Amino acid sequence: MRAPAQAFDAVADVFDQRFGAWRSVAAQRSAVRGELLLAFPQGSSLLEIGGGTGDDAAWMTRQGRTVFLTDASPAMVQVARQRLGERAAVCPAEQLHELNEPLFDGAFSNFAALNCVPDLRPVASGLQRLVRPGGRVVLVLFGTCPPGEVIVQLLRRDVPAAFRRRHLTAPARLGGREFVVHYHRPREVIRAMAPWFRFVGRRGIGVCVPPSAAEPWISAHPHLLGALAAIDRAVARPLAWLGDHVAYRFERVA
């Protein structure tokens, strides 16, 4: 396994308890789910890339979609199977071309799973084999200019963390394991998906809602968080490039 998969393997049993209680994460996840419902009508068969413990896949299933989850971490997939049954498989994003499944109506990836991948072109190549022409793809990656992270990290007096997304890569640590995060620029994301996928648009996730670095403080102020989430809904598309995450929307071309 590559280093990111080893890191998430180490925290699979406690991942949902650690991040699931944070209101900032819930607010950003709610925004992503709204985008997924708009992109994929009821009855859609979907592929999830880097689905982790299956939280989003299980939720989408309850909304009338069928989801097949993939993740590079065997331990994460084991947890996901408790929610999804056999509709979960160990498959790194770079190896989607090895997945033997019928064509899907669409695909999605949430919360920066693809920021663990140094090159998005193999991901796009694998997706073009798995998504039918006309199908939609929603990829949620880290934003590269998030003012929320800059403000929060400066308040914490962590200057390197405040400006780490200005660089192409940054070190990360999870479960005592070190790995590298890759901050893909918008032009790079769009170029990697071509020529198989046409760029449709993007939405900022967490333009005003702060990143998880603001926890646990922001969870203790739900009214403030609710107001910031309301502002996000108004500015998410025109100020997409300022999001803590950015949801890129593509359409599979013939």
pLDDT above 90 for 1: no
Q: 6: pLDDT confidence band, cut at 50, 70 and 90?
A: very high
Element (H, E) at 178: strand 177-182
Q: 142: pLDDT confidence band, cut at 50, 70 and 90?
A: very high
Structural domain boundaries in the chain: 3-252
Q: Which of 156, 149, 131 is nearest to 209 (CA)?
A: 149
CATH no. for 3-252: 3.40.50.150
Mean pLDDT of 228-239: 97
pLDDT digits (tens, 9 = 90+) for 54-81: 999 999 999 999 999 999 999 999 999 9
| pLDDT score at 21 | 85
Q: What is the dihedral of CA 87, 91, 94, 95, to 10 degrees?
A: -100
For 20, what's the count of Cα atoms within 13 Å in the CB-facing half-sphere?
11
